[in-house]
Amino acid sequence: EGRKMMGDMFFFFFSAAILLARDCNGLAKVVVVGATGRVGRIVVKELLDREDVQVRAVVRDEEKAKEVLPSSDKVEIWSNVKLTERASVNEVCEDCASVIWVASGLTQGGGTPFSRLGTLLGTVLRSPKDSFDAKALRLLGQAVDASPNTNARVVCCSSAAASRPAWSQDKKTKFPGAADIPIVRLNDKLKLLDIKAAAEDALRHSCGRYCIVRPTGLNDEWPRGRLVLSQGDLAVGRTNRADLAQLLVQLALDVDPSYTNGLTIEAFTLANYPAPRELEPILSRLTPDHELLNVNHQQDADSVLYNLLQQLVPGETMAPNQLAMGQTYENLDNKETGRLGERGAEKLPSFIETTSSS
């Protein structure tokens, strides 16, 4: 309720901020860091499907970007951005509507197997707090936080299980299906999840205008569907990359920042379910990081379960409380009156009317 009220109160300022982040052609400028990656390419495509968006593609290899990204006057390729230098980061973020991070420091060593191996070895030996990801996200967060556009935010694609290596042994024993899985066991050798966790923390401490998304295993063969959002880093499963890209863009551009700022969520694809028409009702039931990370905060188990189960409701509208008696979820999606009439004015069968009045 409080977050919804906040969204209503700041509607005017939200609209004004959108205008501030547009160029002279009326295009909202979105920075995509890691645009040539498998998720990044789909993010760029999602953005270009919108008429009012200009993409700043931050890439390592300009030639590869020209090969794999669409040729469009709405795509600017930025290949010389030094993401660990403040001036360079500030330049690419100037007047941006949002930043979408779909990069990884493991790609910074170049394209050859030898250079990538060198980068990987350096990552293992270096403290996660000193990783490329942590340094870059810290500066990106600070650049966005200083922006006069109050709608600007950083949407960071991280990874499910990022926090699990740091769980207590009791918690690992309690949730083996989340803690004793390959990506967590691999972390002992490569520190990949430690790097993700440190990068998340760097972003959290750099600004309040962020939303961190932790997808479960990315799998293009898994059918598209509905992304189920949760918190607590317990999610396990598969995520379709196209579903993830769509979510990242929606969080960056479509949702009032009062619903996304300071939020960390996990996501997995519920195959063949329709995507929700609106994210706000789902996001409004989630808890900001500053509350979740408070040692005195205790999540209401019923509220957590309710939030999860409400995301499994059939249809796209996902509002069972709006159903009339005799109306299907499909009727509701298509704004069709159910077989018994409008909600609150249903014409019940005579035998039910007779029974209820006797």
- Tens-place pLDDT, residues 155-181: 999 999 999 999 999 999 999 999 999
Radius of gyration of the CA atoms of the chain, in A: 22
pLDDT of residue 298: 63
For the record, the structure tokens of 215 come out as 């997808």
Nearest Cα residue to 310 out of 329, 330, 285:
285
Dihedral sign computed on CA atoms, order 126, 127, 130, 136: positive
Q: Which residue has the tokens 């170049």?
A: 110
pLDDT of residue 297: 61
> How does residue 14 score in pLDDT terms, banded at 50, 70 and 90?
very low
Residue 310 to residues 283, 300, 317, Cα–Cα distance (Å):
12, 16, 11
Q: CB neighbours (10 Å) of residue 160?
A: 27
Q: Could you tell me how far CA 21 lies from the centroid of its own chain?
A: 21
Mean pLDDT of 5-24: 48
**pLDDT exceeds 70 at position 358:** no
CA atoms within 13 Å, Cβ hemisphere of 275: 18
Element (H, E) at 60: none
257-289 pLDDT tens trace: 999 999 999 999 999 999 999 999 999 999 999
Nearest Cα residue to 204 out of 254, 259, 156, 149:
156
pLDDT of residue 292: 80
> How does residue 307 score in pLDDT terms, banded at 50, 70 and 90?
confident
Question: Do the beta carbons of residue 104 and residue 60 sit within 8 Å?
Answer: no
Q: Average pLDDT, whole number, for the chain?
A: 87
213-269 pLDDT tens trace: 999 999 999 999 999 999 999 999 999 999 999 999 999 999 999 999 999 999 999
SS3 per-residue string spanning 151-198:
CCCEEEECCCCCCHHHCCHHHHHHCHHHHCCHHHHHHHHHCHHHHHHH
**pLDDT exceeds 60 at position 313:** yes
